[in-house]
Amino acid sequence: MKQRRLFEPEPEPTPWEVVDRADQVCAQLVFNRPLETPFDYLIPEGLQPFVKPGMRVRVPFGRGDQAIVGYCVGVGRPSGGANRLKSVLELIDQAPILSPRMLELTRWIAARYLCGWGQVLEAVVPAGVKNQAGTRRTLLVSIDPARWPGAEPVELPAKQAAAVAVLQREGRPMGIEQLARLAHCGTGPINALRQRGLLKSSYERLDQGGAEVDEPLERQPDLQLNVEQQRVLHEILQTLRGGVFRPFLLHGVTGSGKTEVYIRAIREVVEYGRQAIVLVPEISLTPQTIRRFRSRFDSVAVLHSHQTDAERHRHWQQIASGQVQVVVGARSAVFAPTPHLGLIVIDEEHEHSFKQDTVPRYHAREVALERARSERVPLILGSATPTLESWQRAQQGDFTLLSLQRRAAGLRLPPVHLVDTREDPQFRGGAAIGRALRSAMQQALSAGGQVILFLNLRGFCPVLWCQACGAPVKCPHCDVSLTWHREQNEARCHSCEYTTEPPRHCPACGKPGVRYLGTGTQRLESEVRAKFPGVSCVRMDSDSMRKPGSHDIALESFRTGQTRILLGTQMISKGLDFPNVTLVGVIDADTVLHQPDLRSGERTFQLIAQVAGRTGRGQQGGRVLVQTACPEEPPIQFAARHDYLGFVQRELRLRRQMGYPPFESLIRVILRGPDEAVVNQAAQTLGNTLRTAIDSGGLAARILGPAPAPVTRLKNLFRYHLQLAAPQLETLQTLWRTSGAPCTLPAEIELAVDVDPINLR
Ligand code: ADP
Ligand code: ZN
């Protein structure tokens, strides 16, 4: 018998043979839509050798056959069904932009977070990679003067005519996507024009832009690790050498030298010729952090959100080619295309910014876990204040707990003093800095130290309030009260950034006498300047740090001692390591405590512990003053004693009683729409459908709500939510997939499904 060679071409079908469906080659495509399953599209013969999983194609989609981009996730025979299949129109990529591994990971994300696989792919591939910024020759179309001599052209369908009109008006070649946008049509009509030969095509290189060269840094030697660090590193190295998946929770107090441990573990990984990914919160991607890694490794790529498309693309390619040893980046760096991953580190694993709050609503920790599992590498989650979710997993043995209980280099954690604001008349007079804090600041400054003041409210006055009717002055589009920003003299909504002149009359009752209450960072700044004239002070919040680079300039002037007082929001609460800071003041510890959120206690504890971590990092020591009206509240008490264990034990007990995470999983479903009654009705119907499904399936799950969301109106849309809770997340995922719940909704309702929600507003 003649053996067939592997790549021997199939015999051509003779003309009278019926072409069977089984002979056709299909691409399985997913789209940037909330769809669960891939779609089959026929691959035209000429394209068959080129289309591979991980590439993008253009295909007709939906009733109007609009040409849209699809991601190929598989190539094979049609999966069944008698309906006529549509064909691929165009192949976009020359090579796959996603590896098989990345396809698997993104499929896992779509299943876990209940969104479309294509939605995940769309979000995961950086824009610069998608449009090949800096490298690709892009297709441009223009009017063919030979075909369009005068004003009286061929009779065209309306959309094609609109596209031609835009090209005539602009008088230059344009990209297809841009033209479609300006002409308010899909890309279909434009392609139709090209096919009819009515437009001329040309190719042009996109702007290179932004290819800055990383200047080499002076190499720093490794530090001599202390005994605790050595013990922890030893455990990690054993796992690394074993080449197995294992998650570690590294609980180390602030300044205990966690980063040094990461660096040494990474060194081992690099020696094997593998790469490491280090995730840090976006606001910790400071020059200080970056310098620390770049002074210890030959090639470090930094990924952050301020990069241009071309920069991102360049880094992505360098990483994919294996040239990069260490990738340091925020949340999305978990997708960095390292060819030989050796280790993933997540620093400050408790940070909320690791959860994405748009589709796909993934948490980088969960994605990192899955990626580490599939690539069989260790994962290190580090924090001084681990989330209860991670702590509980360590208790159950899912994570290996490692701890660093002392600060490195023999330094002590700073003492934390609580100042009861109810006992100081200064506060009733409207001051934000009480007597105790003021004199502590004076002492610290006159001894040559520096001061950090923390307040998590921006603006000048966070509340505008009508004395006559008692109502807060709210944003006309949101259920959020306006904040007065004195610098621009405007009232601003911090949810939608609506701004208006500060109202003199109450919009609700029309009477004069709107009062400005409370203190935001702007007002704190002017109080500091008034109380400490001549002392240099810098404010860091999202208003003062708008310009790119301003963040670095502010921190640099603080590092060199030019600035003596640094005040600001979350931006300054973590990661900073300045030995000369001898005093940290928390202006109001209660702002978070009173939020209606199951994590308000945890957040308050974390906040105080993290802010306190900014001092006592030098030989002069340091201390912390926390102003609060609730000094007896347990999260504040535990934080003042640096007692994380005491705090988690109590908090876990409460969570267990309440059936909250980590003991139950949650899925939050938010419904949005312009008409409150319709939203409410839809939420009720959805709730009933889900309850019926729970009862008939005998599922161990419950539904909380529906109810108006805490912020009931946002950007002119009314918001209702409900929560699905169950001991097992799988129960909820199955419930949601099988209940048919989304089908009950009217078209005008937007739906957001948030698995493991963190933001409960
Ligand atoms: P963490 O990441 O836990 O906050 P870092 O790794 O930033 O801690 O270390 C805090 C400070 O202690 C840094 O200034 C670091 O250089 C220093 N440090 C860390 N380990 C050692 C060590 N073994 N000996 C001396 N100094 C150390
Ligand atoms: Zn608003």
Q: Give the tens place of pLDDT for each residue, 640-652.
A: 999 999 999 999 9
Asked which of 623, 655, 687 is the last residue of a domain, the reply is: 655
- Find the residues whose C-beta lies inside 6 A of ligand 1: 223-226, 229, 252, 254-260, 408-409, 577
Q: Among 286, 399, 279, 293, which residue's Cα sits nearest to residue 347?
A: 279
Whether the per-residue pLDDT at 5 is higher than 80: the answer is no
Same domain, 647 and 682: no
Name the closest ligand to CA 476. Answer: 2
Question: What is the Å distance from ligand 2's center to 505 Cα?
Answer: 19
In this prediction, residue 535 carries a pLDDT of 95
φ and ψ at residue 708, rounded to 5 degrees: -60, 140
pLDDT digits (tens, 9 = 90+) for 547-596: 777 888 888 899 999 999 999 998 887 667 888 999 999 999 988 888 77
Q: Which ligand 1 atom sits nearest the alpha carbon of residue 260?
A: 6
Domain boundary among 634, 655, 676: 655
Q: Looking at ligand 1, which atom is closest to the CA of residue 579? A: 14
Q: Residues 539, 572: contact at Cβ < 8 Å? A: no
Residue 454 lies in a domain: yes
CATH of the domain at 26: 3.40.1440.60
The pick from 258, 260, 288, 404 for probing ligand 1's pocket by mutation, whose C-beta has the most ligand atoms within 8 angstroms, reads 260
Is 2 a member of any domain? Answer: no
407 CA to middle of ligand 1, Å? 8
In a domain, 383, yes or no: yes
Within 13 A of 229's CA, how many CA atoms are on the CB side?
A: 22
Can you give the pLDDT at residue 212?
36
Task: With respect to residue 394, please indicate whether it lies within any of the assigned structural domains.
Answer: yes
Do residues 404 and 613 make contact, with C-beta atoms less than 8 angstroms apart? no
Burial-class residue 735 by CB neighbours within 10 Å (0-12, 13-18, 19+). buried
Q: From atom 24 of ligand 1, which residue's Cα is the shortest distance away?
A: 409
- How many angstroms does the Cα of residue 409 sit away from the middle of ligand 1? 7
Are both 23 and 90 inside the same structural domain? Answer: yes
Does one domain contain both 111 and 253?
no
Q: Among 260-269, 557-566, 738-747, where is mean pLDDT lowest? A: 738-747
Point out the ligand nearest to the CA of residue 410: 1
Confidence (pLDDT) at 152: 54
Nearest CA to 434 among 444, 424, 449, 446? 424
Count of the separate structural domains present in the chain: 5
pLDDT in tens, 341-351: 999 999 999 99
Å from CA of 759 to ligand 2 middle: 17
Out of 349, 577, 617, give the residue to mutate to test ligand 1, the one with the largest number of ligand atoms within 8 Å of its CB.
577
Whether residue 538 is found in the same domain as residue 620: yes
The predicted structure's pLDDT at residue 213: 36
Over range 291-295, report the average pLDDT.
91
The dihedral through the CA atoms of 424, 428, 432, 433 has a sign that is negative
For residue 548, the CA-to-ligand 2 centroid distance in Å is 25
The answer as to whether 760 is a domain residue is no
Q: How far is the CA of 358 from the centre of ligand 2 (A)?
A: 18
What are the residue ranges of helices labelled H in 286-387? 287-294, 309-320, 364-375
User: What's the CA gap between 574 and 606, in Å, rounded?
Assistant: 10
458 and 527 fall within a common domain: yes
Neighbouring C-beta atoms of residue 127, cutoff 10 Å: 12
How many residues make up the chain in this entry?
Answer: 761
Give pLDDT tens digits for 41-86: 999 888 888 999 999 999 999 888 888 999 999 999 887 765 678 8
Phi, psi for residue 566 in degrees, rounded to 5: -115, 125
Q: Whose Cα sits closest to atom 25 in ligand 1?
A: 409
Element (H, E) at 487: none
Share of the chain above pLDDT 90, in %: 54
Q: Across residues 297-318, what is the average pLDDT?
A: 86
Taking 3-state DSSP, the helix, strand and coil percentages for the chain, each rounded to the nearest 5, stand at: 35, 25, 45
Residue 6 maps to a domain? no
pLDDT of residue 136: 45
Nearest residue (by CA) to ligand 1, atom 9, is 257
| Nearest listed ligand to the Cα of residue 497 | 2
Confidence of residue 166 (pLDDT cuts 50, 70, 90): confident
CA of 214 from ligand 1 middle (Å) equals 25
User: Which among 77, 96, 130 is the end of a domain?
Assistant: 130
pLDDT at residue 403 is higher than 50: yes
Domain shared by 287 and 389, yes or no:
yes
- pLDDT given at position 138: 58
d(CA 588, CA 308): 38
Q: What is the 353 CA–ligand 1 centroid distance (Å)?
A: 24
Q: Could you identify the atom of ligand 1 that is nearest to the CA of residue 225?
A: 23
pLDDT band, residue 148 (cuts 50/70/90) = low
Which residues have a Cβ under 8 Å from the Cβ of 292 and sit 6 or more positions away? 259, 263
Based on the domain organization, do 700 and 647 belong to the same domain?
A: no
CA of 152 to the centre of ligand 1 (A): 75
CA distances from 55 to 72, 187, 263, 463, 525 (A): 6, 19, 36, 51, 52
Question: Each residue of 499-551: pLDDT tens digit?
Answer: 888 888 888 888 887 888 788 899 999 999 999 999 999 999 888 887 777 88
531 plus 607 within the same structural domain: yes
Q: What is the CATH number of the domain that holds 189?
A: 1.10.10
Taking alpha carbons only, the member of 564, 606, 567 closest to residue 589 is 606
- Residue 116 backbone dihedrals phi, psi, to 5 degrees: -75, 140
Q: Which ligand minimizes its atom distance to the CA of 578?
A: 1
Question: What pLDDT, on a 0 to 100 scale, did the predictor assign at position 21?
Answer: 53
Ligand 1, atom 20, lies closest to the CA of: 257
What's the rounded Cα separation, in Å, for the pair 236 and 248? 8
Which ligand has the minimum distance to the alpha carbon of residue 409?
A: 1
**Model confidence at 133, in pLDDT bands (50, 70, 90)?**
low
Q: What percent of the chain has pLDDT over 70?
A: 92
Looking at the fold, whether 671 and 626 belong to one and the same domain comes out as: no
**What are 187-203's pLDDT values in tens digits?**
888 888 888 878 887 76
Is the residue at 498 inside a domain? no
Domain match, 240 and 321 both: yes
Residue nearest to atom 14 of ligand 1 (CA): 577
Closest ligand to Cα 407: 1
User: Are 442 and 591 members of one domain?
Assistant: yes
Strands of 56-61's sheet, edge to edge? 39-42, 26-30, 66-76, 56-61, 90-91
**Cα of 479 to ligand 2 centre, how many Å?**
7
Range of the domain at 540: 416-462+518-655
Helix (H, G, I), strand (E, B) or coil at 683: helix
Half-sphere exposure for 564 (CA within 13 Å, toward CB)? 16
Q: Whose CA is nearest to atom 5 of ligand 1?
A: 257
Counting Cα atoms < 13 Å in the Cβ hemisphere of 104 gives 9
Residue 559's CATH number: 3.40.50.300
Within this chain, do residues 350 and 245 fall inside the same structural domain, yes or no?
Answer: yes
pLDDT score for 47: 87
For residue 217, being part of any structural domain is answered with no
Q: Ligand 1: which residue has its CA nearest to atom 21?
A: 408
Average per-residue pLDDT in the chain? Answer: 87
